[in-house]
């Protein structure tokens, strides 16, 4: 029981993202630089960091392609010191990045030699992992001590290798950020009644008042918070929106320009 | 009498919730074999045939079975498929069993993977890979030290990766994603393009907002939100999107060179 409790105390919650190609990606900083995107890959014997990404932070490999990272920090705060990684670009990453299949640039793989030192709980529905350090030092994997790295066992490796040469597709454009109106809705009553507007917010400036009932956004009827959020979800700062409200039996239409910030 | 019934009903409901919870939390443990190459092997039955040895690979988007399994387990290959992967598309598998865990309604690629063939020479027969399309349906706990993987129930339904990838390869969509934060927080943060240090500066805070009430102030540095690094504005919005409406969100803030935690509950609104 005591050991369980101390084990839990050392647990680190690590957020991750599922890529469009169904890979689990954890962000990591190397020597406090980054973040870089790593696939969590039980099919990889060791950790890999691409040559290209290594170059951007001045890493160099020894004659066998190894590089010792002084500090390897996973998002969430798990730190490994003096961790040895292969500084090379696994062929499936060439393909994935070349064709922008992941929806993000990928910089490496986290493999067995780091994974096996932890109990790793993965919850895809929540996009969180919990890593708990174990008192366990895995045996160094066979066949990777020299140059003959078997690489990762990506199921689509052969395919990736084939398409790796077609590096035509660009990574996705950076995302836009939804704008903010500063309108607070009374929660839990079903109807969209304005509770208040934040000081100097677009909603405040446009004259929206507490008690106003929101009927439509950009001519779409909004009967619930879910519907309102659905209509409003892709409107960035600066892009004008039209709001129809009911105030004292009068329907008013107002135009607002969403602001920046959360 | 009515009170009596209510009590019975309450007891019954409590029991249901309680049992449901236990049910939901009870994992099925599956033994694993770690090869000298560091790969994980699990023993798998396909359509009740086998067992076969398959590699458990979190880096594989889809489950793969060998043509040997396909024949023995009578897995029907799709007649028309997109033969982009050296395989005739995806086949439907009625059941995949790992130990006492039975997963129904799987799809897999039928393919004799060259690397797997080479591995079989060293480590005995291996007939495929358990990938994301199968394991993501569970919350899993991998323990190399105990040589086991625990599977907990989950509600996650994986996408059709192959379909998604083909769509990605063939689409010319220039659509930009918009990151939509949950709720109204009431502050703005940012940094200059030459600022490479961790985190973002708080630029402004709206008086009376959730952020202001929680103690977020101009001049502070936001390092993370719910464990997600906030080194860019996109990251901050992404973390605010992942935060659930009405739930407390934890910021790590740097102020006068000291890190502290500030909890903000964003307001519902837009």
Q: All domains of chain A, ordered by start, with CATH?
A: 2-163 (2.40.70.10), 183-256 (2.30.42.10)
B89 & B194 share domain: no
In contact, A82 and B96? CB cutoff 8 Å: no
- Residue B254 has which token pair? 């740097």
- Residue B88: inside a domain: yes
pLDDT at A167: 47
pLDDT category, B90, cuts 50, 70, 90? confident
Judged by CB atoms closer than 8 Å, whether chains meet at B59 and A109 is answered as: yes
Whether B123 and B213 map to the same domain: the answer is no
Task: Identify whether residues B52 and B103 lie together within a single domain.
Answer: yes
Tell me, yes or no, whether B132 and B203 share the same domain. no
Same structural domain for residues B135 and B219? no
Please report the pLDDT score of residue A168 as a whole number.
55
Residue B159 lies in a domain: yes
Residues B33 and B159 in one domain: yes
pLDDT tens digit sequence for B40-56: 999 999 999 989 999 99
Distance CA A184, CA A206 (A): 14
| Cα torsion A20, A21, A26, A30: sign | negative
**Is residue B10 included in any domain, yes or no?**
no
**Cα–Cα dist B44/B130, whole Å:** 9
Is pLDDT above 80 for B86? no
Q: For A134-186, what is each residue's pLDDT tens digit? A: 988 888 887 644 434 444 454 444 455 444 444 455 667 788 999 999 999 98
Query: Are both B195 and B159 inside the same structural domain?
Result: no
User: Does the residue B47 lie in any domain?
Assistant: yes
Q: What angle do CA A216, A218, A220 make, to 5 degrees?
A: 50
Cβ-Cβ contacts under 8 Å, B226 against chain A: 15
Nearest-angstrom CA–CA distance, A43 and A40? 9
Give the closest of B37, B131, B168 to A101, CB-based.
B168
Residues B115 and B217 in one domain: no
Total count of domains within chain B: 2
Task: Name the 3-class secondary structure at A117.
Answer: coil
Token digits for B40?
């994980």
Query: Which chain A residue shows the shortest CA-CA distance from B116?
Result: A153
Greater confidence (B162 vs A161) lies with B162
Same domain (yes/no): B81, B139: yes
Helix (H, G, I), strand (E, B) or coil at B267: strand
Paired residues of B74 in beta bridges: none
Structure tokens, A248: 């004292």
A117 or A145, which is more confident?
Answer: A117
Domain containing residue B215: CATH number: 2.30.42.10
Q: What is the pLDDT of residue B8?
A: 53
The answer to whether position B270 is within a domain reads: no
- Give the CATH number, domain containing residue B117: 2.40.70.10
| B90 found inside a domain | yes
Backbone angles phi, psi at B169, to 5 degrees: -70, -35
Residue B147 included in any domain: yes
Picking from A134, A140, A82, the residue whose alpha carbon sits closest to that of residue A111 is A140
Are the beta carbons of B59 and A201 separated by less than 8 Å? no
Query: What token pair was written down for A167?
Result: 């590096």
Read off the pTM: 0.87
Q: Looking at chain B, which residue has its C-alpha nearest residue A145?
A: B37
Contacts of B5 (CB under 8 A, 6+ apart): none
Q: Which residue has the higher pLDDT, B16 or B225?
A: B225
Query: Does residue B96 sit in the same domain as residue B155?
Result: yes
B7 assigned to some structural domain: no
Handedness of CA B235, B237, B243, B248 (dihedral sign): positive
C-alpha dihedral over B227, B231, B233, B239, to 10 degrees? -10
Domain that holds residue B100: 28-166
Q: What's the confidence (pLDDT) of residue A145?
A: 43
The answer to whether residues B220 and B136 belong to one domain is: no
Nearest residue of chain A to residue B179 (CA atoms): A177
Task: Round to whole Å and give the CA distance between B44 and B35.
Answer: 16
A57-102 pLDDT, tens digit per residue, is 999 999 989 999 999 999 999 999 999 999 998 888 887 887 777 7
CB contact under 8 A, B57 and A159: no
């Amino acid at each position: 029981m005591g050991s369980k409790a101390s084990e839990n105390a050392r647990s680190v919650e690590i957020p991750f993202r599922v890529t469009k190609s169904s890979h689990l990606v954890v962000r990591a900083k190397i020597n406090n630089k980054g973040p870089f995107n790593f696939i969590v890959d039980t099919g990889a014997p060791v950790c890999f960091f691409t040559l290209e990404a290594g170059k951007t932070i001045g890493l160099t490999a020894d004659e066998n392609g190894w590089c010792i990272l002084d500090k390897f920090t996973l998002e969430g705060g798990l730190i490994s010191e003096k961790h040895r990684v292969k500084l090379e670009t696994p062929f499936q990453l060439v393909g994935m990045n070349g064709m922008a299949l992941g929806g993000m640039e990928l910089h490496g793989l986290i493999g067995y030699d780091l994974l096996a030192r932890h109990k790793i709980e993965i919850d895809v529905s929540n996009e969180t992992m919990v890593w708990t350090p174990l008192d366990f030092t895995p045996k160094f994997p066979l066949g990777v001590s020299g140059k003959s790295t078997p690489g990762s066992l990506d199921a689509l490796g052969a395919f990736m290798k084939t398409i790796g040469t077609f590096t035509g597709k660009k990574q996705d454009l950076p995302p836009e950020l939804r704008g903010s109106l500063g309108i607070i809705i009374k929660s839990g009553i079903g109807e969209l009644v304005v509770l208040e507007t934040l000081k100097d917010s677009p909603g405040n400036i446009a004259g929206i008042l507490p008690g106003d009932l929101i009927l439509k956004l950009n001519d779409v009827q909004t009967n619930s918070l879910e519907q309102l959020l659905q209509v409003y979800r892709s409107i960035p700062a600066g892009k004008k929106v039209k709001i129809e409200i009911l105030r004292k039996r009068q329907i008013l239409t107002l135009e607002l320009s969403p602001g920046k910030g959360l | 009498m009515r009170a009596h019934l209510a009590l019975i009903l309450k007891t019954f409901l409590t029991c249901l919730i309680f049992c449901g919870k236990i049910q939901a939390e009870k994992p099925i443990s599956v033994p694993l074999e770690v090869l000298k190459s560091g790969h994980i092997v699990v023993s798998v039955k396909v359509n009740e045939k086998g067992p076969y040895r398959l590699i458990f690979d979190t880096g594989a988007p889809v489950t793969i079975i060998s043509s040997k399994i396909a024949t023995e387990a009578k897995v029907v290959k799709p007649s028309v498929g997109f033969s982009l992967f050296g395989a005739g598309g995806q086949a439907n598998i009625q059941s995949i069993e790992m130990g006492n865990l039975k997963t129904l309604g799987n799809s897999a690629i039928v393919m004799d993977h060259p690397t797997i063939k080479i591995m079989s020479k060293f480590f005995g027969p291996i007939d495929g890979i358990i990938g994301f399309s199968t394991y993501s349906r569970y919350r899993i706990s991998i323990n190399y030290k105990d040589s086991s993987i625990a599977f907990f129930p989950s509600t996650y339904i994986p996408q059709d990766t192959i379909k998604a990838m083909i769509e990605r390869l063939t689409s010319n969509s220039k659509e930009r994603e918009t990151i939509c934060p949950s709720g109204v927080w009431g502050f703005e943060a940012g940094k200059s393009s030459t600022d490479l240090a961790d985190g973002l500066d708080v630029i402004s805070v709206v008086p009376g907002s959730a952020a202001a009430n929680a103690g977020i102030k101009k001049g502070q540095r936001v390092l993370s939100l719910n464990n997600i690094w906030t080194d860019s504005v996109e990251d901050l919005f992404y973390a605010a999107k992942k935060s659930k409406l009405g739930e407390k969100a934890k910021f790590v803030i740097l102020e006068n060179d000291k890190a502290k935690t500030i909890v903000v509950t964003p307001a519902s609104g837009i």
